[in-house]
């Protein structure tokens, strides 16, 4: 297939993806929010409630990160660090892991992360929200929360993984015929 023909086909597929994203936003608007508890999490500064993580915002983005042992989760967090100011202009933002706060602080310093972090260390937060199970262990994802009528509700969530919508590296690699090839995230290259 000639480059111009292939390019036109890819542009058509990208338009379908854009239309599908619009459909997904419409569905998100129709979902009945799920009330969640005001969980207590741990930070380097001490215990903090989920409601406190909102700060002065009504919306909160929570990244369910598997912690310092996961190079893929580290890559996602590196990317969020770069767009943090843009995210904070719209909603509060926090990365939550099972690691103790001291481990989080040390790892964040090494990576140069600027975002707030909290730990669910053995609590019910990740389990209740579907990001830990006996069969799969810890799972990465993202949840969107909102304050509504004095309650905290989850309005949407999704898992994170290769080729998801939340890490540009995968999509940039897709520009090559062999995609990512043999590449896989590492802590250091």
Per-residue model confidence (pLDDT) at position 159: 96
Q: Is residue 181 a part of any domain in this protein?
A: no
User: β-strand 34-36 against 151-159: which pairing, if any?
Assistant: antiparallel
State the pLDDT at residue 156. Answer: 96
Alpha carbons 162 and 70: distance in angstroms, whole number: 13
- If asked whether residues 64 and 87 sit together in one domain, one would say yes
For the domain that residue 117 is a member of, what is the CATH number? 3.40.30.10
Residue 14 belongs to domain spanning = 1-30
Q: Is 189 part of any domain?
A: no
In a domain, residue 180? The reply is no
Predicted confidence at residue 122, as pLDDT, reads 80
Helices and strands of the chain, counted as H and E runs: 6, 10
Same domain, yes or no, for 9 and 97? Answer: no
Distances (CA, A) of 63 to 12, 30, 51, 91: 32, 23, 15, 13
Nearest to 111 by CA among 65, 162, 145: 65
184 domain residue, yes or no: no
146, 155 in Cβ contact below 8 A? yes
Residue 77, domain member (yes or no) = yes
Give CA–CA dist 122/51, Å, rounded.
Answer: 19
132 and 89 housed in the same domain: yes
Do 115 and 24 sit in the same domain of this protein? no
DSSP conformational letter for 80: H
* 185 located within any domain: no
159, 129 Cβ separation under 8 angstroms: no
- From residue 11, give the alpha-carbon distance in Å to each of 7, 16, 50: 6, 9, 42
75 occurs within a structural domain: yes
Kindly give the confidence (pLDDT) of every residue in the chain, 189 residues in length, as a single tens digit, with 9 standing for 90 and above: 999 999 999 999 999 999 999 999 999 999 999 999 999 999 999 999 999 999 999 999 999 999 999 999 999 999 999 999 999 999 999 999 999 999 999 999 999 999 999 999 989 999 999 999 889 899 999 999 999 999 999 999 999 999 998 999 999 999 999 999 999 999 999
Residues 16 and 70 in one domain: no
100 and 51 co-located in one domain: yes
Q: Count structural domains, the chain.
A: 2
Say yes or no: 4 and 95 in one domain.
no
Does some domain include residue 100?
A: yes
């Amino acid at each position: 297939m000639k480059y111009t023909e292939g390019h036109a086909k890819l542009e058509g597929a990208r338009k379908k993806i854009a239309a599908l994203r619009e459909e997904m936003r419409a569905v998100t608007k129709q979902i009945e929010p799920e009330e969640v508890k005001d969980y207590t999490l741990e930070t380097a500064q001490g215990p903090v409630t989920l409601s406190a993580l909102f700060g002065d915002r009504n919306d909160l983005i929570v990244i369910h990160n598997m912690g310092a042992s996961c190079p893929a989760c580290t890559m996602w967090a590196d990317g969020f660090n770069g767009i943090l100011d843009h995210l904070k202009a719209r909603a509060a933002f926090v990365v939550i892991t099972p690691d103790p706060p001291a481990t989080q602080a040390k790892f964040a310093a090494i990576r140069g992360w600027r975002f707030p972090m909290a730990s669910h260390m053995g609590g019910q937060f990740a389990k209740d929200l579907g990001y830990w199970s006996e069969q799969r262990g810890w799972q990465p994802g993202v949840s969107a929360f909102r304050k509504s009528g004095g309650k905290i509700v989850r309005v949407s969530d999704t898992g994170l993984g290769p080729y998801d919508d939340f890490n540009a590296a995968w999509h940039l690699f897709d520009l090559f015929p062999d995609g990512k090839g043999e590449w896989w995230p590492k802590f250091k290259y």
